[in-house]
Amino acid sequence: MMNYFLTDEQQMIRDVAREIAEKVIAPVSAEHEETEEFAWEVMEACAQADLFRVSIPEAYGGMVPPGQVGIFNQCLVVEELSRVDAAIAVSYAASALGFFPIVLFGSEEQKRKYLPALADGKVLAAFALTEANAGSDAGGIRTRAVRDGNHYVLNGTKQWITNGGEAEVYTVIALTDPARGSRGASAFIVEKGTPGFSFGKKEKKMGIRASATRELIFDNCRVPVGNLLGREGLGFVVAMKTLDRTRPGIGAQAVGIAQGALDDAVNYARKRVQFGKPIITQQAVQHILADMAIQTEAARAFVYAVARSIDAGVEDFSKESAMVKTFASDVAMRVTTDAVQIFGGYGYMREYPVEKRMRDAKITQIYEGTNQIQRNIIGLALAKEYAAKK
């Protein structure tokens, strides 16, 4: 890995995350993959090691100084955890996806109420936008929130919600004014245990199996008015501003997966002897490994650059955030596919962790906006940028 001139604090964050990954996650990774059970013991270790604090403001129990965001910190942790197990890393990262809306749009009271426990890692958060008929077309959500006195009454079903059932705090996007389309959506904080809020089936997935992916079912669920984030009609703004800040984290997850695959592939190629010598001495193999290394490092450099620029306070970064998510996830898919190829038949066997990385990589091209949707965002931004120049 290149020297990225991390500050002492960033280096410490990386070291602690790596230690958690190697000492706590690695020994239980295969078991969680097999049982698909949520890795609470790892979440507890992450909490104890302060990893949930790295992207929460100091004032609420976190480590981020006033005026900063902590995206780079978050990326460092997600990358290190994903290098060992992307499925378990997702459970960590999805909590940040759930609490960023509170960090960004929460009132002082909401922040005081929810962020300290999330920073302590005593509870996890989750983010709920997707529905059965509203994926890439997020404007198609049907979940309703109707004001009734001091409450909003929620009805509808959210689908494929990461940390569903495990998290205590949910940011839920629902329509308060269907007539206004995407401007009629609002964001709510909903606590687990609220009457009328239950969980549907837990999905069985191709990859990231140890992560929890469930339906959230709202059946006349009464949420106090005080749990509205921002104001009515701001729902999609909350969602988009949050995703702009978390997409580099998907990039970091992809970089971690790719790095893990590269590590596996190089180590295997050094040991695997065919035709009387280790296969790493074959130029055909070396070139594959070289391309894997080039792409992984380029993706990392890009993730770090975007995360740092967000932390430094640039105004508009939707395009860059979309670019880095797309680039890094495509890299992860290619690099993990090549890693399986280096392993040959062994790579196809589930006994070796390298096929898991390939299955885990696939989701990074899909969630938090498919790479096709990211390219739409980028294309639109280019059109606007160049139009403004004239």
Q: Which residues are catalytic?
A: 368
Shortest distance, position 51 Cβ to another protein, whole Å: 7
Comparing CB distances to another protein, the nearer of 8 and 109 is 8
Q: By C-beta, is 28 or 240 nearer to another protein? A: 28
End-to-end CA distance of the chain: 42
Query: Taking the complex as a whole, how short is the minimal distance between the CB of residue 75 and another protein, in angstroms?
Result: 15
Least distance between another protein and beta carbon 255 (Å): 21
Tell me the C-alpha to C-alpha distance, in Å, between residue 91 and each of 52, 175, 295, 313, 341.
Answer: 11, 27, 26, 27, 29
User: Judged by CB, which is closer to another protein: 119, or 234?
Assistant: 119
CB of 377 to another protein, least distance (A): 33
**Measured distance CA(378)–CA(215) in Å, rounded:** 30
User: What beta strand segments (E) does 129-206 contain?
Assistant: 144-148, 151-162, 169-175, 185-191, 197-202
Contact indicator for 295, 339 with CB cutoff of 8 Å: no
DSSP-derived secondary structure letter, 48: H
Nearer to another protein, 48 or 372 (CB): 48
Long-range Cβ contacts of 352-357 (<8 Å, 24+ apart): 352/264, 353/29, 353/30, 353/264, 354/261, 354/264, 354/265, 354/268, 356/33, 356/207, 357/86, 357/257, 357/260, 357/261, 357/264
Q: Which residues pair with 191 in a beta bridge?
A: 169
Cβ distance to another protein smaller for residue 48 or 107: 48
Q: Could you tell me if 133 and 142 are in contact, meaning their C-beta atoms sit under 8 angstroms apart?
A: yes
CB of 113: closest distance to another protein in angstroms?
23
Residue 226, both tokens: 């005080």
Nearer to another protein, 59 or 373 (CB): 59
Q: Which helix (H) or strand (E) holds 217?
A: strand 213-224
Least separation in angstroms between residue 81's CB and another protein is 12
Radius of gyration of the chain (CA): 21
Instruction: Write out the residues near another protein by the rule CB under 8 A.
Output: 8-9, 12-13, 15-16, 19-20, 23-24, 45, 48-51, 53-54, 63
